[in-house]
Structure 1
């Protein structure tokens, strides 16, 4: 399935140029011409955002966090500003990459590929269930975008349930996976087990 890219760029000519470039390279494209419109258009189907920094109304810096909170996908900032401190600030806000205008089309396409590849690698290490998000790499759990503290065993138990969503896990299976209890098979099982159910 082709990736979908949201272009947030108020310059109509640049927006159209980028749309043509991306479409010719088999990307799906959505367009926005202001920061506010960009936040409204952004949805769960977007895989990456190209964001112009100098926008009418809310500027690019203001909306990076709003975009990330709505659907955390890679954001590549496009700007003529070359101030290194400004770039660092943007990375602190959540930008994933920074491309100085004017840029070569091939460089843009290469940076998009890198960000989409990294995003796909990250997704495979993140489990989601309703408002809960579990990261298998850094061992964090977030609920409604707020980190929740878990002990190691609690984390492993939640991970096991999320990896086996809608499947009933017996107490014996849980003990074998989490506690590696050699005697767990001999344990009296009063109920069938546990499962995550939507």
Structure 2
């Protein structure tokens, strides 16, 4: 079972997508406009189906906005199949096109093929804030330059980045990175974050914000 987000300004198409993909056991969330989507929720989806031609924010603009926030496949649903449109879509980070009108068999086959590929070839890379997290190597790079973080500094960055937009207290960060059984002072989190910011500042980026009186979040 996969969690799928489908965005299209046609309610009938959304109903068709939901009914069809639920037959394969998938959980489908639908939206009539990208403008109603809270971007901090995107990481919970395994695949995104995205219409191109929509009023307000169109599919191309939304794909451009979110591509660095998510690592899942993005499939465009579109009647626009000119070579220039396809080129634009792939340049923005789309993984595939499904041409309207489409058959339900084709839809299920294309979606499930991408989900199987993701299962086999999980990239273990998080792209966010212009940074690349290699979750296997436990490294952060910017423009292919490795940022020299300590193990603890990396752990703090990964935890915040994977939950970007959420605010965590020093105690929550300490427990997540050091473990509940660790013996120490959560104040050390503030020291580590100060050092992290100094290292990121060298690359003209400081993605961790202080929320006064509460804690920290990854922007």
TM-score (norm 1): 0.65
Unaligned regions of 5+ residues in structure 2, if any? 156-176, 180-219
d(CA) in 1 for partners of 2:138, 2:144: 8
Deviation at 1:26, TM superposition (A): 0.7
Equivalent residue for 2:115? Answer: 116
Aligned to 1:187: none
1:39–1:63 CA contact under 8 A, matched in 2: no
Q: Does 1:45 align with 2:44?
A: yes
1:37 CA displacement = 1.8
- After superposition, the Cα gap between the structure-2 partners of 1:127 and 1:89, relative to the gap in structure 1 and judged at 3 Å, is closer
Maintained 8 Å contact 2:5/2:29: yes
1:60-83 superposed Cα distances (whole Å, 9 cap, x missing partner): 100002222232210110111120
Whole-angstrom distance in 1 between the partners of 2:30 and 2:145 = 39
2:140 touches 2:146 (CA, 8 Å); kept in 1? no
Q: Can you give the 5+ residue segments of structure 1 that lack an aligned partner in the other structure?
A: 163-195
Instruction: Judge which range, 6-15 or 65-74, deviates more.
Output: 65-74
Q: What is the CA distance between 1:107 and its match in structure 2?
A: 1.1
Deviations 1:77-104 (A, max 9, x none): 0111120111011000000000111111
Compute the RMSD of aligned alpha carbons. Answer: 3.2
**Equivalent-residue separation in structure 1 for 2:54 and 2:105 (angstroms):** 24
CA apart distance, 1:112: 0.8
In the alignment, the residues of structure 2 paired with residue 127 and residue 74 of structure 1 have an alpha-carbon distance, to the nearest angstrom, of 13
Cα drift, residue 147 of structure 1: 4.1
Equivalent pairs counted in the alignment come to: 153
Q: 1:105 to 1:79 in 2, by over 3 A?
A: same
Alignment partner, residue 96 of structure 2:
97
Cα deviations by residue, 1:128-156 (Å, 9 ceiling, x for unpaired): 7xx862176xx89545xx445249xx8xx
1:121 shift after superposition: 2.7
